[in-house]
Structure 1
Amino acid sequence: MVPDTTPALEIDDLVVRLGGRTIIDSLSLRAEVGQVTALLGPNGAGKTTLIRCCTGILNPDAGAIRIMGTDVTTACATGRVGLMPQSTGAWSGIKPLELLRYLASLHAHPLPVEPLAERLGLTDFASTSYRRLSGGQQQAVNLAGALIGRPELVFLDEPTAGMDPHSRRSVWSLVHDLREAGVSVLLTTHLMDEAAELADRIWIIDHGRIALSGTVAELTAGGRTLEDVFLANTDSRMRP
């Protein structure tokens, strides 16, 4: 039997224009099944816009996106995709476990709510509404919401932003477990140590285009750090 080589995510020549500006410029990217793919880039490079296209929130102007060999709309409608956004105001008045139970009810075979909440520490602030949580606590709730439906491909947009080191390491452990379970993960992060720890392959994006890609070992060959590589292949948005 010939093995299935269909990627978890395949993006070809994607173009997105917003407000008269080209945000994504003929970008192509591939993420393999059962691997963690990291998308690195400066603020404003197009990372979140790309994720919005991959999760059906935004329609690109040109190009194609395939998820597990099918189109974005079908993949999202059938529960194959999970999304952890950077923030979500829509959940402001609800309590964490109430939210998870509601999200679980939308799926045919959700993860058990209590064990997931316990692992991510949500039970410690279960009686607090989402809007009153710290940034790191909100991120933990967002992560649980992305995973509750057992997605095959999950997008994590800066999953540990605002988290303390203990919480960050717990998320790293969970991402490792997701990979072991065959779940495909695409994450964005500004933390070079996080990318080096988690990613099977890294794609560096700048000005809406892929500047470089490779494994951590390939990118850091010759003694360079991942931060050195990042700085050499992206532009600063701040000027002295």
Structure 2
Amino acid sequence: MVNTPAIQLTDLKKSFGHIRAVAGVSLTIEPGEVVALLGPNGAGKSTTIDLALGLAHPTSGAAELFGASPRSAIESGRVGAMLQGGALLPTLTVAQSVALVASVHRHPLPVEEALARARCTEIAKQRVSKLSGGQLQRARFAVAVVSNPDLLFLDEPTAAMDVEARRTFWQSMREFTDEGRTVVFATHYLDEADTYADRIVMLSAGRVVADGSPSEVKAVVSGRRIRATADFEWNLDVEQELATLPGVRSLEHRGAHFTLVSDDSDATLRSLLSAYQDIRDIEVTSHTMDDAFLALTEGRSDFEADADNRARVDLSLVADVPGAIAATSAKSSHDAAPATLEEVAS
């Protein structure tokens, strides 16, 4: 028996005037997946989430959650969301806010459990208007999970959180996903996507330009970085020699520190150590999610003219192939402030 996808997006498009915010997004996300949506500002991440939730109407295409319309899935309590535009009533306490949302769902979590999951027990009696930015995010997370959803959308969930608060938040999220629930989150913190997502979907200018595991996405950028410190005088001759070592594709240096990007790090290191004795602090690393992000999203500004000729990267083919995809981000505006899930369900 084939499982019904948690999310099925089919050629979703959304235009605001002459701007295409979402330009044909198709995704199938299975139950239990943890998926990160990445992309520069204006790439279409938030708009795609709004379309999936039924908070915005597509220009064309379709969205289904668990084989039903977004409205039906939300009404059933199977979907929760923590969105950038969602606001809590400032005069209520955190506990009252969670209880209010719990009251409109059929099978909610106990309020105390939702507060505990979001690490909000200590701030339960505080008014929303008195919360710090990080505390407010935790309160919004408690509101999102109190319906006991099978699918959770998060749009920049750790914005305004410090490093420790972010770590604590993802501990809570790990507990949530360990129960087999589906999570889709958009973030600007690439390290969060690399660490916590099973799958990365990268958007640029409203299109999917990469879709795969974190390791597959990072493999888009070939080669390795060799960082070292030179205990000799740097000059143009040295720079030329280093740049022409076997396997070297590029060279950067700042003071005594230099970085080589090499397609054959073993050959580069052998030649480097043979030619130069006064080198220390050598470090060899693979490319990062930051490198893949830049490779996949930086590019030309004529997206609209070239959009129909673009396609996502087939990540099964790029592990040994250098290069990048040129795509640009188009600024997108949103409809009026999105409604809450309760407003959609009513």
| TM-score of the two chains, using structure 1 as the length reference | 0.92
Q: What's the counterpart of residue 69 of structure 2? A: 71
The alpha carbon displacement at 1:110 in A equals: 1.0
Alignment of 1:38-57 (within 5 A): 38-57=36-55
Q: Any idea what SS the aligned residue of 1:70 has?
A: coil
The alpha carbon displacement at 1:15 in A equals: 0.6
Cα shift readout 1:1-27 (whole Å, capped 9, x = no counterpart) = x3x332211111101112432110011
Q: Any idea what SS the aligned residue of 2:57 has?
A: coil
CA contact (8 A) 2:117 2:142 kept: no
- Structure 1 residue 17 and structure 2 residue 80: aligned? no
Q: What's the counterpart of residue 101 of structure 2? A: 103
Q: What 5-or-longer segments of structure 1 have no aligned partner?
A: none
Cα shift readout 1:54-104 (whole Å, capped 9, x = no counterpart) = 112111110011111112121112111111012433523221100001111
Alignment of 1:140-179 (within 5 A): 140-179=138-177
Q: What's the counterpart of residue 135 of structure 2? A: 137
The alpha carbon displacement at 1:229 in A equals: 0.4
Between the aligned residues of both structures, percent identity stands at: 39
CA contact (8 A) 2:42 2:205 kept: yes
The alpha carbon displacement at 1:134 in A equals: 1.4
Instruction: Indicate the larger mover: 21-30 or 168-177.
Output: 168-177
CA distance in 1, matches of 2:23, 2:69: 20
Larger RCO (CA under 8 A, 6+ residues apart): 1
Cα shift readout 1:95-116 (whole Å, capped 9, x = no counterpart) = 1100001111111221121133
CA distance in 2, matches of 1:134, 1:19: 37
CA contact (8 A) 1:81 1:154 kept: yes
Query: Which of 297, 308, 312 does residue 234 from structure 1 map onto?
Result: 297
Q: Any idea what SS the aligned residue of 2:99 has?
A: helix
CA distance in 2, matches of 1:9, 1:118: 28
Instruction: Indicate the larger mover: 83-92 or 73-82.
Output: 83-92
- Structure 1 residue 121 and structure 2 residue 184: aligned? no
Identify if the C-alpha distance between structure 1 residues 66 and 88 changes in structure 2 by more than 3 Å, giving closer, same or farther: closer
Amino acid at match of 1:62: S
Q: Any idea what SS the aligned residue of 1:155 has?
A: strand
> Number of aligned pairs?
235
Q: Any idea what SS the aligned residue of 1:57 has?
A: coil
Q: What's the counterpart of residue 188 of structure 1? A: 186
Cα shift readout 1:116-168 (whole Å, capped 9, x = no counterpart) = 31343323333332233111111111111111001111101111111122221
CA contact (8 A) 1:86 1:139 kept: no
Instruction: Indicate the larger mover: 71-80 or 224-233.
Output: 71-80
Q: What 5-or-longer segments of structure 2 have no aligned partner?
A: 223-285, 299-327, 330-346
CA distance in 2, matches of 1:203, 1:180: 21
Amino acid at match of 1:142: R
Identify if the C-alpha distance between structure 1 residues 118 and 151 changes in structure 2 by more than 3 Å, giving closer, same or farther: closer
Q: Any idea what SS the aligned residue of 2:183 has?
A: strand
Q: What's the counterpart of residue 224 of structure 1? A: 287
CA contact (8 A) 2:218 2:289 kept: yes
Amino acid at match of 1:94: L
Identify if the C-alpha distance between structure 1 residues 90 and 115 changes in structure 2 by more than 3 Å, giving closer, same or farther: closer
| TM-score of the two chains, using structure 2 as the length reference | 0.65
Identify if the C-alpha distance between structure 1 residues 189 and 88 changes in structure 2 by more than 3 Å, giving closer, same or farther: same
